[in-house]
Copies of this chain bind each other. A is one copy, B any other.
């Protein structure tokens, strides 16, 4: 097959991931970990310069995220990071309860031993991150924990819809993550999820994830109000 390549030196494989995918993942990650300011506007040229890529891949990544409703788009096609408000927060909360409740039921019904082992592993990672107080890592492992559970539900399209909602909440999640009270209540809900899954108890699983989502939404709403009226008096810049 190879005529004369046996004496080649050791070479590391080059990246086969397309540029647009790299850009997409990086932007998505940045969004979900809250590294963009709400309202901040993104431009193709600006990002392509910052990323060292040409405009083409950035353009595609932005449009994809746009299609996933990750941005607010002006009539002229300009892109801004979304800012959260109470009404949207509640809308997302209700939709998440509906969809993720469904997924938890399915997962409880279908999961096998391998799923359970890996979910437990993800839970342990999450616990570790929570104890360490590492916000960034807590966010990542939290998404991974939920994602692993929903993977057992084997419902690709529903999962995609849920991830879209996460993408909206991303910047917000990052805000509450450092709150130790929230963390505590959240981890309690997570342990309930784990237990319900172990027992294959669909109703309990749905109840537990509902608790998790409602708690997060409540914490966020409190925080949102604080941000909009910071300190009552001193807010008059």
Contacts and interface: CB of A to CB of B under 8 A. Distances in A.
Number of copies: 2
Given A64-B67, A165-B157, A168-B157, A95 B102 contact: yes
A51 interface: no
Nearest to A105: B94
A201 interface: no
Interface residues of A, number: 28
A88 B77 CA distance: 34
A155 interface: yes
Contacts of A98: 98-99, 101-102
A92 B63 CA distance: 25
A67 B165 CA distance: 14
Interface of A: 18, 60, 63-69, 77, 88, 91-92, 94-95, 98-99, 101-102, 155-158, 160-161, 164-165, 168
